[in-house]
Amino acid sequence: MVEDTTESNDIDSEDPFADEVEKVEEPILVEGEIEDLSSAELVKRMKIGWNLGNTLDATGGSGLATETSWGNPITSKEMIDIIKETGFNVLRVPTTWEKHLGSEPDYIIDEAWLDRVQEVVNYGIQNDMYVILNMHHEEWHFPSYDNVENAKDILTKVWKQIAYRFENYDELLIFEGMNEPRMKGTDFEWNGGNEEGWDVINQLNTAFIETIRLSGGNNPKRHLMIPTYAASSDSRSWQKFEVPEDDKVIVSLHAYTPYNFALNEQGTDVWSLSNSNDTGEVDRLMNNIDRSFISKGIPVILGEFGARDKNNIESRAAWAEYYIKKASEIGLPCIWWDNGAFSGNGELFGLLARRRVVWTHVDIVDGLMKGFE
């Protein structure tokens, strides 16, 4: 997802705690024996997911205040409770670590930040949800040959700390090595990448997997997600993508498809089930993913998808139902990108009004659930 620093505004934006950060309590200790099953088996248990976007991944402010720096309120268990009650059983927790690291060479994670991340992860675990914890808006893993050793150094040292903190969690907790690693600001950023970028991302994915596998507790059996170049669903980015011989690894892709409807602000606001051009783009996406990965026994999770608000709820609801229906047919769990944004000039993907803890676009949520039936 393109970084969106636009403030996220619920329709009920008045929040007495909006500018405060709650004191983080001692995280609940979570321990459990991890079930020894393949990732292909694990993803079959997943239904549909929800992203806690523009929250722990936000990069404004400092310390614990970063959580609310892009306009969303402090995350509460009540929010995650309603997510689960509605029918979502996967929670993705996008998290940016860069602003919470000490200096080189150790890159020690701020203890208060790690506690807060664990607290939010526990909201999902306590709801018996699959929780995906990642690295999100990091600037240090630019995938070039002149940066690869520096990126590996930071990646492995930070993930080693995260793995240690969560080592006793069971199969409900999944680690996602990187979000959308790409050559930001270059001609290759969003066009599928190049040989150099593909190679470096393969190296970083390998370093991530090796780090987790060599850590303690349940981590040798931890399910891990690795992205293609930019986590792109463009098959050009898959040309040299390497999937290791590890049955607990999942490919991470993102797909806002059709682009002109789902993501492009200047694109169309209409999507119709009766228009074969509209449905065809979704069909081709699913066919490509199935042919390249799932049919070969390689599990995939669509870590981000959604259609931005263009005052077109009816079209978005119809699209959501069809999208999930087609994804379900190939065994592809999808996770809606909810950035909490409902107004302004940014990318408006909000579904849950977090301050009131109510759904604002019920028709879309219903469409998502119907698609999975």
Q: Would you please indicate which residues are annotated as catalytic (active-site) residues?
A: 180, 304
Q: What is the 3-state secondary structure (H, E, C) of the chain?
A: CCCCCCCCCCCCCCCCCCCCCCCCCCCCCCCCCCCCCCHHHHHCCCCEEEEECCCCCCCCCCHHHHHHCCCCCCCCHHHHHHHHHHCCCEEEECCCCHHHECCCCCCCECHHHHHHHHHHHHHHHCCCCEEEEECCCCCCCCCCCCCHHHHHHHHHHHHHHHHHHCCCCCCCEEEECCCCCCCCCCCCCCCCCCHHHHHHHHHHHHHHHHHHHCCCCCHHHCCEEEEEEEEECCHHHHCCCCCCCCCCEEEEEECCCCHHHHCCCCCCCCCCCCCHHHHHHHHHHHHHHHHHCHHHCCCEEEEEECCCCCCCHHHHHHHHHHHHHHHHHCCCCEEEEECCCCCCCCCCCCCEECCCCEECCHHHHHHHHHHHC
